[in-house]
Amino acid sequence: MALPLAAQTVKKTAPETKAPLEQAAPAEAAKPAPYDGPLLRLAEVLGSISYLRELCGAPQEDWRRTMRQLLDSDAANEPARRERLTAAYNRGYRSFAAVHSSCTLAARNAEERYRNEGATLATEIASRFGN
């Protein structure tokens, strides 16, 4: 009988002992930045705007490129952070894709509200946490 891959590769070894400073370093790296909440919301808003503008045939301002720039500037060397921001963008995109299949007045109103929210978030993040 074949074992699952994870069961096949498990090796029993003695636990490694590390100096206290080495053990504390990963906890510091995992500590969220104070602007993580607003930044994740901004990523979600960018995804929503991207879908709604595409749906309504509005001139594309390339929201995906904006999101890539955000990822490159904030999470270039942190794969887990990059994944969280990408997931937020995709969640925003998919949330409207699940509800709106054609451009309606409600979709246009939502796009305008989200653009306003995104502009507010970007301004607040830059003013509170910018350099």
Q: Would you write out the chain's pLDDT as a tens digit for each of its 131 residues? A: 333 333 344 444 445 555 554 444 444 455 777 888 999 999 999 999 989 998 998 776 676 777 788 777 777 678 888 898 889 999 999 999 999 999 999 999 999 999 999 999 989 988 988 76
pLDDT confidence of residue 32: 78
Give the closest residue to 44 by CA, choosing from 101, 100, 84: 84
Length in residues, the chain? 131
pLDDT confidence of residue 35: 84
pLDDT confidence of residue 16: 53
Q: Looking at residue 56, what DSSP letter applies?
A: T
Give the closest residue to 98 by CA, choosing from 45, 60, 51, 64: 51
Per the listing, tokens 């993040």 go with 125
Contacts 24+ apart (CB under 8 A), 112-121: 114/45, 114/48, 114/49, 114/52, 115/49, 117/45, 118/42, 118/45, 118/46, 118/49, 121/38, 121/41, 121/42, 121/45
31 in Cβ contact with 73 (< 8 Å): no
pLDDT confidence of residue 73: 77
pLDDT confidence of residue 129: 82
Rounded Cα–Cα distance for residues 68 and 70 (Å): 5
